[in-house]
Structure 1
Amino acid sequence: MSGQELGSNAPPSESSPALQPEARAPVGGLWGEIRDALSGIHIPGALAATVSTVALIVSHHHGNTGSYRRAFGGLIGGQMGEVAPYLYWFGASVALYLLLPLFAAALTPGLKVRQTGIGLGDWRTGLAATAAVLLVFLPIVFVASRMPAFAGHYPLCSGARKAWSLFLVYELAYAAYFVAWEYMYRGYLLFSLEKSMGKMAVFAQMMPFAIIHFGKPEAETFGAIIAGIFLGLLALRTRSFWYGAIIHIAVAVTMDLLTAWGPLTRLSQG
């Protein structure tokens, strides 16, 4: 009987598992695949997505009115004490949604702060679009402010209904909050993703924008999908986030003013 038949001296066949890549330890191949995948990642877009997500998580756990109440409780009393948690929330949002992304953009290889929509861009188109949008939407805001779902929800801070001075302080901080909010979504995130995703970046930034409307009136939450897409396209067209910020501030402050007008005027007259 031959040695090959006995299997004593037979060389391993080409189909032997010992020579097949699948039979080798998968660790090297896996890390190679990870390296290949990471080498194709667009750094500015990846960092912007990560920084924005971190900002949202920190805001959710530490940058809201509940966080203020847990940390500071009744530190500030009186009517101002009712507004203070919201000032904390808006201030934390400015730090997380505006200052943090600006800092990250300044340190990101291949990205400059001026490329994140921080300038006025095509201001003629921006102002014309802003005026047109407000001409359409402010009457809608007027009608919505008469609906119980909106009238009972805005202003978010009930203390802002108790004095014009408190209302003014609250609305100024609210406006700063929207500037920060718009910069993170329609500035830093949108323009960082644009180079790798093109106009699909509009839809990428729309998703978290709509999700953070959870807890608001249902109609407004669904409307955030349309608003997120439109404001994203407007930012790309004008190369600026500012026009979305102006629209957002105008709509939000108008809603607050309309819903708080009755209580504020009655208090001032009394």
Structure 2
Amino acid sequence: MNIPAWNPQYLEPILAFVLVTIGFSLYHFVSISPKIKNKYQGRFGAERGNTKFLWMTRYLGAMSIGVVPAIIMMMVMGKTPEDYGVAFKNHGTSLAWILGLATIIIPMNFFNSKKEKNLAFYPNVREKEWTKPMVATNAFTWVAYLFGYELMFRGLLLFATVPLLGEWPAIVLNAAIYALVHVPKNLEETIGAIPLGIVLCLITLTTGTFWVAFFVHITLALSNFFFSLKHHPEMKVI
């Protein structure tokens, strides 16, 4: 058996793949753990325990999927945040993309959020009565989670694979993995993740920053959250 020769250029993408695999697996298996959820329910009650458990998993995802891998990548590779797209530049182009996609996403979510299929799952927090602090906390946990999420996909994973694979192979690979992590949700979100993943990768590479993908994803998640909460017949803000 001939063992493939090692190339130092392989280290960065391999490290990114290893970290996203470990980080997402940790987040996923904690998020579906009945043992951990039962501990929260035992402490806070069934309904509030579910809520606090969900918020905890979002914070965990932010750290395990994005923040901790980013720190490890920069320490091992000797790179800076800007090398992985955490850069403030091309403001005009970035703002145009964010506002342009928001004009599509927000009306789309307004109408989709009324559907029974959507309301059966969203908002993820299933409490009937929401206080304003609860609304703010739920929104913030989404922002935290999506920061780590986009930091990995449109930051670490994308910028680590482009030098070795080239732009289009890296984009397709990124979108494929992005779709796979949506499989536990449903078929519609899995399919929708493919074109969205490709578009976000293209925007990230042309602007040199992951912030557009981050704010677009926030717009997608928060508009769906607010509209779903508004349209849900059994939920209200008190």
**TM-score normalised to structure 2 length:** 0.89
d(CA) in 2 for partners of 1:67 and 1:114?
40
Letter in 2 for 1:201: A
Q: Check 1:157–1:261 CA distance in 2 against 1; reply closer, same or farther (3 A cut).
A: same
The Cα RMSD (Å) is 2.4
Distance 1:228 1:60 in 2: 20
1:145-156 alignment, distance < 5 Å = 145-156=113-124
Once the two structures are TM-superposed, the CA of residue 109 in structure 1 deviates from its matched residue by 2.8
Partner Cα separation in structure 1 for residue 54 and residue 113 of structure 2: 21
Cα distance between partner residues in 2 of 1:160 and 1:121: 42
User: Match for 1:205 among 162, 167, 174?
Assistant: 174
Structure 1 pair 206–263 and aligned structure 2 pair: CA distance change class (3 A): closer
Structure 1 unaligned segments of length 5 or more: list them: 1-29
Identity of matched residues, %? 21
Distance 1:202 1:142 in 2: 29
**How far 1:156 sits from its partner (Å)?**
1.0
Provide structure 2 residue ranges, at least 5 long, that are not aligned to the other structure.
none
The structure with more radius of gyration: 1
Please show how residues 1-270 of structure 1 align to structure 2 within 5 Å: 30=1, 33-34=2-3, 36=5, 38-39=6-7, 41-63=9-31, 66=34, 68-77=36-45, 80-109=48-77, 111-159=79-127, 162-199=130-167, 200-262=169-231, 267-268=236-237
Q: Using the alignment, how far apart are the partners of 2:19 and 2:35 within structure 1? A: 21
Deviations 1:112-156 (A, max 9, x none): 332000112322111101111111221111111121111221111
Equivalent position amino acid for 1:142 in 2: F
Distance 1:268 1:142, change over 3 A: closer
Give the conservation status (yes or no) of the 8 Å contact 1:213–1:221.
yes
**Deviations, residues 216-268 of structure 1 (Å, cap 9, x unaligned):** 34322211101011001111111111111111111111111111114599745
Kept in 1: contact 2:229–2:235 (CA 8 A)? no
Larger RCO of the pair (alpha carbons < 8 Å, separation 6+): 2
**Number of aligned residue pairs:** 237
Q: Which amino acid aligns with 1:145?
A: S
Task: Tell me by how many angstroms 1:98 deviates.
Answer: 2.1
Secondary structure of the corresponding residue to residue 246 of structure 1: helix
Q: 1:82 deviation in Å?
A: 3.4
Q: 2 CA distance for matches of 1:175 and 1:252?
A: 9
